Structure 1
Amino acid sequence: MAVAKEHDVEELDESDNVELTDDKLENGSKGQLIKLAGQLRDRRNELNQMASERASKRDDLNAKTREKVDEAQEHREKRDELNEQVQEHKNKRNELNAKANELFDEVDEMKEDLELDDGKDLEELKEEIEQLEFRQQTEVLSTEDERELIEKIEDKREQYRKKKDKVEDSGELEGLVEEAEEVRSEASQHHQKVTELADEAQEHHNEMIQAYREADDIRDEADAMHELFVEAQEAADRHHEDFVRVQKRLRELDKKEEESRKDQREAKREEAKAEAEEIYQKFKEGETLDTEDLMKLQKTGLL
């Protein structure tokens, strides 16, 4: 027999049950049967009370099961709602990343058109010029070496000026880069939302699983409590059936007693009538009757 885990119930002690045998029913005296009927009635009432308490606890457990299932359903709905939002942000993120990639491709094409990717960037050229100028100022060089160094500095300065002019003429490029970076940043924000919402959806999923597990556990308790209810109710029903059988037997005995008393009364009447007729015959024959004889005649209506 399964036992409910968290709900203590009074154990059904079968030794307290009242047994009715055919021999007791058929051969027991009226007094014995009256006593037995009382025992069966009292035990039936105890068992009915026990069954009622177990049914109430079973119903409470079933209600808690439904509450847990409802809780799980709420988490399921919230999870599904969040997953829909995750998909929406994913789609937006992918759309923006695709757009950002297109813009960065345009940036690369524009750079190639402006030849901004050729050679070194402005910062590198500026640093090289400063190093060459520092060398010119601090080192003792031959006339030939100094002339070569000056030519080199001038060449670097010319490269710097040309690249700077190209950069200054590329305002459109800067705007395109800024737009691409903004689109990429927006895509990153949607990716962050994807991560946050997915984590929240997973939490609701975990809560849903936990609620379903708890519902299963409580349902098991409710099923066990139902078995205990059935156990007590069946025992109560059996005691009630036996109580009814004893009551029926007592009515049969009462009927027999009444019939026996009726037969006795009838026999007494017949006896009295016969005695009165005998007295009346004596009276007709001229015998003197005493008071008792006269009363017997009056009772039978012969006088």
Structure 2
Amino acid sequence: MVTKQDVLQEYDVQELDESDNVELTDDKLEDGSKGELIKLAGQLRDRRNDLNQMASERASKRDDLNAKTREKVDEAQEHREQRDSLNEQVQEHKNKRNELNAEANELFDKVEEMKQDLELNDGKDIDELKEEIEQLEFRQQTEVLSTEDERELIEKIEDKREQLRQKKDKVEESGELEELIEEAEEVRSEASQHHQKVTELADKAQEHHNQMIEAYREADDIRDKADAMHELFVEAQEAADRHHEDFVRVQKRLRELDKQEEQERDAERAEEREAAKEEAEEIYQKFKEGETLDTEDLMKLQKTGLL
């Protein structure tokens, strides 16, 4: 079983250190000062970017492993197709071999029937008779025999020669037998050639079968590594997404604080305008009553539009 730790080591992948993660609590978000939140947003953004980079690298390695898995599966499929093609050829040669063997058996059965008809199976065959004659002649030439023994030996030789002549005469009387034997042997030889092809093709088919099994095994191993790498990718991507969500929350809070500050400034400016207006009205009232105004008082009246 391939583990995430296995692929981290094998492919030199940076391990995700959770101690580097940036934590955002509700208290920090609600009670933190604007300066603190700006700093926190920067930390969240930087950590998010690092995690996205880590996730990207892991995704790339995962994709490479998935590609290698597909290559091995394709390789296994090629071996499967070659194996199946060879097995089809094996079956074709088997069928032809069996047909030829059946044909050869029928021919040899006919040969035996013909031999029986010609009585060629009675006694010894031609080759055996020739060998016995040679042995007797060799004995006659090499051994010192009495007249009686030599006469008996000569009679045996003549008897064997007569048997041989009779066998040969019967064979010659039926040239069809030799042709039939030759045809049967040719058919059997052709069947043997097909049997040889069966053996050769079956061996090749077995080789491709073994290679197919090995390729599928390697594909499974690589797929397990790809799955483990995908888990590592998800781990980094989920952490990156969490930091991005927290970054967005902080940014939203900063915008809320900016809006509050703007509202407070607007309120202050409104209060200032109201106070200036009240002061200007007091000055204007003094002006109507004939009091002398200084330059500063005149500028205040101009600013409020009362002069």
Q: Could you tell me the TM-score, scaled by structure 1's length?
A: 0.93
- Kept in 2: contact 1:4–1:225 (CA 8 A): no
Q: CA deviation at 1:91?
A: 0.6
Match of 1:134 in 2: 140
Structure 1 segment 182-221 matched on structure 2, within 5 A? 182-221=186-225
Moved more, 152-161 or 220-229: 152-161
Q: Give, as a single letter, the amino acid of the residue that structure 1 aligns with 2:146.
A: V
d(CA) in 2 for partners of 1:135 and 1:126?
17
Match of 1:286 in 2: 290
Cα shift readout 1:172-206 (whole Å, capped 9, x = no counterpart): 11111111111111111000000000000001101
Structure 1 segment 222-301 matched on structure 2, within 5 A? 222-301=226-305
Q: CA deviation at 1:154?
A: 4.1
Q: Does 1:156 align with 2:174?
A: no
Q: How many residues align?
A: 301
- Kept in 2: contact 1:44–1:236 (CA 8 A): yes
Q: CA deviation at 1:150?
A: 5.5
- Kept in 1: contact 2:140–2:150 (CA 8 A): no
Please state whether the residue corresponding to 2:205 is helix, strand or coil.
Answer: helix
User: Is there any run of 5+ residues in structure 1 with no aligned partner, and where?
Assistant: none
Q: Give, as a single letter, the amino acid of the residue that structure 2 aligns with 1:111.
A: K
Cα shift readout 1:117-142 (whole Å, capped 9, x = no counterpart): 21223344345456278289942235
Indicate the percent of aligned positions where both proteins have the same amino acid.
83
Moved more, 133-142 or 192-201: 133-142
Please state whether the residue corresponding to 1:245 is helix, strand or coil.
Answer: helix
Cα shift readout 1:51-103 (whole Å, capped 9, x = no counterpart): 11111211111111111111111111111111010000001111111111111
Q: Could you tell me the TM-score, scaled by structure 2's length?
A: 0.91
d(CA) in 2 for partners of 1:129 and 1:302?
161
Match of 2:4 in 1: 2
d(CA) in 2 for partners of 1:214 and 1:275?
90
User: Is there any run of 5+ residues in structure 2 with no aligned partner, and where?
Assistant: none
Cα shift readout 1:1-59 (whole Å, capped 9, x = no counterpart): 62463422111111111111111111111011001111111111111111111112111
Residues 76, 251 of structure 1: alpha-carbon distance in 2 compared, 3 angstrom cutoff: same
d(CA) in 1 for partners of 2:150 and 2:255?
143
Q: CA RMSD in A?
A: 2.1
